[in-house]
Structure 1
Amino acid sequence: MNSIPLTSLFITLVILLILSAYFSGSETGLLSSNRYRMRVLADKGHRGAKKAESLLKRTDSILVLILLCNNLVNILASAIATIIGMRLYGDVGVAIATGMLTFVMLIFSEIFPKSIAAIYPEKVAFASSHLLQLLLKICSPLVYIMNLIIRSLMLLCGVKRNVSSTSLSTEELRVVVNQSAKFIPFAHQQMLLSILDLEKVTVDDIMVPRNDIGGINIEDDWKSIMRQLNHTPHSKIVLYKEDMDKNILGILRVREAYRLMMDKNEFNKETLIRAVDEVYFIPEGTALNAQLLNFRNKKERIGLVVDEYGDIKGLITLEDILEEIVGEFTTSMSPSIDEEVSEQSDGTIIIDGSANLRDLNKLFNWNLDTEDARTFNGLILEHLEEIPEVGTSSEINGLKITILEVSDNMVKQAKVEELQTK
């Protein structure tokens, strides 16, 4: 070593520090990279992305390689720095060299390259992957032996080796969508979040309630049936005999009924019964994502929701589920949440009793309980446990609710005032 010029030692030391910075930055860059963006770039033919993705499939091997090379470089740098210190200042130079090398390596070979790699992980990972892949092939026997030793030690310590997974849960996907707001239009972002919410929402939450289902009793007078057909706001109605819960004949497409009306000689109760479609029943509590698949598999677009006793609870269509994802887009005669809510100048809100609680929670960021009630009227009756009189006031979840109109044993309208929380 004494025959090696100081200039050569300094050059070698600088090269070793650069290599140490390379391995430190490579480690941070590879582990911080967005694997999904890397996959997209690899599929597009990006060479660096392909090699980086290949290396990350063997995370244990690449980590062993990087740490092995980094420690080897650091040990050599320490040895050379010691020799330089001794040549320049004797025994005192050893302490000087150790202190200076520690400072230089900490700043220039650790903190600085890792900071750069954390800011630009893909660029660093893609650039470093070329040399790392070559080194991994050269050092593969040594890497294999070290991995074998490490796994043996893990077994002795009772540590199980789990295979890492890049799959994301629903909640993790929600975070990804929320954090991608600047890359995705707001409307598209809301659609993606709505799709993720489908498994949490059931048919009970969005169905048309039993009392609002359009239906015709085939036992009614023929003139009454014709009048109902001519004035119905629905495109499909339930045809039943005497009791909708006990004797449903089928779902009648109003357009088909109009077609039959053209042939007045053949248009009667019998032809009306023959024109109905078979009823598709849906158990209550079915998640929307499952029901969407059921509609597709069974080639259905409309169904009646029934409880455990077979009684009709409501009606749901394929369009209802699609609207849950993309927002309202049909020409339904049912009032929208905007039509059921009226904000007043004094800060209070007039709400119809038929308003859906989930829609109210979304619109005003409230936290009304939807477990036992689906409508605003249902929430009030559940809370008061009686039919209230006009003027009755109560507090529910930080909201002061004053009854404005009651009819047919239902709260038709109420005024809501948000109470100030202390």
Structure 2
Amino acid sequence: MKNKGLTNWDWNFDYGEGLVVTWASNTTLKIPLNIEKSDNYKLFIRYFKNQKGGEIKVYLDGKPIIINTNDQLNKFVWKDFGTFKLNKGKHELILENVNGFNAVNLFTLIPEGEYYKARGEITKLLQNKTMIYLFEAESDLYRENAKIVKGIDYSNGEAIKFSKNGKAWQTLDIIKNGTYKLALKGSGEFKISLGNYTDIVSLNTNNFTYTPLFYLNQGTYNIKITPISSINNLVKIEDMPVLDVVWLYSTETNQTIGQLFEVKERPAKVINYTKINPTLWKVRVNATKPFMLNFAEAYDPLWEASIYKNGRKVEVAKSIPLYSVINGYWINQTGNLEITIRYKPQVWFDRGLIISLVTFIGAIGYLFYDWRRDKEDRWAKRLEKRFKR
């Protein structure tokens, strides 16, 4: 693959299948397919939409599909590319990188009948479940006249700050009829539009602000969030409206986010928790039996929990997608526990910094020794003799 300008890249977001990544224009990858039964098949592709993206072409038995991968947001998406009549036997799928930086993870062909059957069963299953949609403003919402800002109090350490005529929006699919409510965190006054529902909310940075209940039918909706505070050249930067995170969830009883995650049985009690920085949290727990620890940051498998008991590390728990939106950790320990939740890339950065610092000090030390040796210094000669023994 590398000879063709393609790279196979394994990472934590690839479902264990790896990625095909390339900058090289007009590069192709041929994938043979063996169809066991003549039928209509739905084609889904998981690819990377990003700010440096361009265009990909996918050919299924010579029929081209054009994919525009350039996008304001950087994230992997699944997309339905329609239905294809495929006969039993051998077929060929060709991936061509036209231009830009592109990454493709998975191609999925599903018999059309099986797809709609599975979709119906899942929709039916979800009717008695709570549906949660979580949007981090800086990474999940499209924006105009707004910029990303950093802060220790923001979810994931980032939010978006609006300037004049700013707005944020996104498209979402509601798969369950029912009553919903929105919870937002940020600062300033905003107008929210979701289908036929509109509301005005005043946000406080440190707490969620909730809308009243409203009804949504199944279907595709656009959510739009617009600051209505007066923004002009006289407004201080620190006073401009900020949007941190948006939750949309179904509820029949007007629950808050905290109430969504309450459980009647409490196998563990959180004694206290401390946010050291946006990538490091420490939690003290007393547990009577193994339990699930909820960590209400947007799900990312690079969050890791280290469990300590009596000062000794006894377990490391990897994050799992809880409710499909936040991080969860299954803690298979009991007693008084100290749990450290850390974002692993920060650990790698810290280790790299230490290695760089040690290397730098070693280089300075060697240069000092070499300088003393050139001057035929006694100390340098004694040191050299000691190492030669």
TM-score for the superposition, normalised by structure 1: 0.20
More helix by share: 1
More strand by share: 2
Give the number of the structure whose alpha-carbon radius of gyration is greater. Answer: 1
Answer 1 or 2: higher relative contact order, Cα 8 Å, separation at least 6: 2
